[in-house]
Amino acid sequence: MSLDTNDLIRLEVNYRGIFQKTLAKHISTDVVYVAHSEGKTAFSNGRYSDDPQRNGVPCANFAYISKSLSEEDLEAEASAAMDIKEAELVIVLDDTMVKGLEPWGHYGIRPINEKVISGGTILFVSSRTPAELSKLFERKSFSYRIATIRGEASFSGLWYFRDDMTDVRVLGAIAKLNPGIASIESVLSYVKSKYKSDQKVEAARTAFEEVTVAEVTPEEGIVWPYPKPVLPGWKEFEEGTVVRAVKRGFSLGPRGQNRNTDFKRGTNRTQRPVVRFDICTKCTLCWASCPDEAFDPTKEGYYDVNYEYCTGCGRCADVCPVDDCIVMVNEMNLTSNESFYNQYLKNPSSYVEEIESIKGKERTIPEHITGKGNIVKRVEKPKAFKEVR
Ligand code: SF4
Ligand code: SF4
């Protein structure tokens, strides 16, 4: 006998592996507790393929809420699958994921709005407007909603939880966007009993009141530029654990660096390094320190980042001895993974002018101890272009 799942609500929480793991866990399990407090059946789990998590890798937790299903039936319906196909509410804790997700390694890049259904909602924690974000969505054949609560992506590390109230703010927004999950009264009473903090209750209430919502129509968005991932069925898996060897090779660029082409990591990134080749001293430190071998040595002796492989860890910017030579820039400020180096060779001064405008005046430098947030420095005057002879 098939189950009547008409009142089932599915929630997907997209987050960056390690840095937002605890935050996402708080949200998906808190939703379950709040729904329980209203007498509903609820259950949460995570996408098994993302373990072990790597820094920045796109991951997802899920929550399922129903008024009519029993606990056993809900678990039978929801717990066996490694992923979900559709969701009434999709939450995105880092807005740079709007450029695509690669949670299944080399199987391909998926759109962030893939799961949202007709009439459903996708919620971002972002300081960008809904229109700025939805123009990067894959175009769909139906209308749905985009919502935002203001804020930058909240990051911490493996052993830390950055308690900046993003978790309770998201809970407040959930109550507004899908009251079938839980009412705002239940959310506020849960937050009060869990944290005993009026400040947290107020943060959840403010998010409920201030969440911005807009409609996404079928004309909006882009035709998805990447092939859609096709995952093997369980009968197609090879026996045992198979780790493909990297093809041996000895070329070191340009663009010939010997890498595992099955393991590109560009969608792990929230920031990317941008290099001022005109002031680079060719010291090799960035190339030697990059944990992902993302730098291609060029014929002229510079080191060019291959953005398909760079995970945005920031180490190169940290070790570069030349002030403002490698700067980490928010991923949303750039649209493609193309190398800048050819542009630099063709017209060095216009390259410098363009990347300085992309970089802006603020420099965001990660703290060495994760969970402490970023240091933001302001640069009033960028370094002048230096002619290389
Ligand atoms: S940020 Fe720099 S060090 Fe880190 S992966 Fe990218 S190129 Fe390598
Ligand atoms: S670390 Fe900085 S100065 Fe040294 S090669 Fe890399 S970009 Fe150039």
**pLDDT surpassing 90 at residue 362:** no
Long-range CB contact pairs, 71-74, < 8 A, 24+: 71/41, 71/43, 73/3, 74/8, 74/41, 74/42, 74/43
Task: Provide the pLDDT for residue 46.
Answer: 85
Rounded to the nearest angstrom, the distance between the alpha carbon of 355 and the centre of ligand 2 is: 17
**pLDDT surpassing 80 at residue 258:** no
Of 170, 188, 184, nearest to 126 by C-alpha is 170
**pLDDT surpassing 70 at residue 50:** no
Q: 186 in helix, strand or coil? A: helix
The reply to whether ligand 1 has any atom less than 6 angstroms from the CB of 97 is: no
C-alpha 7/C-alpha 234 separation (Å) is 29
**pLDDT surpassing 90 at residue 246:** no
Task: Identify the residue whose tokens are 């101890």.
Answer: 369
Banded model confidence at residue 161, pLDDT cuts 50, 70, 90: confident
**pLDDT surpassing 80 at residue 163:** yes
Ligand 2 pocket, CB under 6 A: 275, 280-286, 303, 320, 322, 325-326
pLDDT digits (tens, 9 = 90+) for 165-198: 999 999 999 999 999 999 999 999 999 999 999 9
The reply to whether ligand 1 has any atom less than 6 angstroms from the CB of 311 is: yes
Which ligand has an atom closest to residue 305 CA? 1
User: What pTM, to 2 d.p., does this model score?
Assistant: 0.91
pLDDT digits (tens, 9 = 90+) for 378-389: 998 888 889 877
Which residue minimizes the CA distance to atom 4 of ligand 1?
313
Task: Provide the pLDDT for residue 373.
Answer: 65
Which ligand has an atom closest to residue 323 CA? 2
Question: Which of 47-61, 283-297, 314-328 comes out lowest in average pLDDT?
Answer: 47-61
* Residues whose CB falls within 8 Å of the CB of residue 346, separated by 6 or more in sequence, listed in order: none
pLDDT digits (tens, 9 = 90+) for 192-245: 999 999 999 999 999 999 999 999 999 899 999 988 888 777 788 778 777 777
Rounded to the nearest angstrom, the distance between the alpha carbon of 325 and the centre of ligand 2 is: 7
Domains identified in the chain and CATH numbers: 9-216 (3.40.920.10), 266-378 (3.30.70.20)
C-alpha 83/C-alpha 175 separation (Å) is 24
Cβ atoms within 10 A of the Cβ of 230, count? Answer: 9
The reply to whether ligand 1 has any atom less than 6 angstroms from the CB of 35 is: no
Tokens, residue 358: 């992309």
Q: Indicate the residue type of 44.
A: S
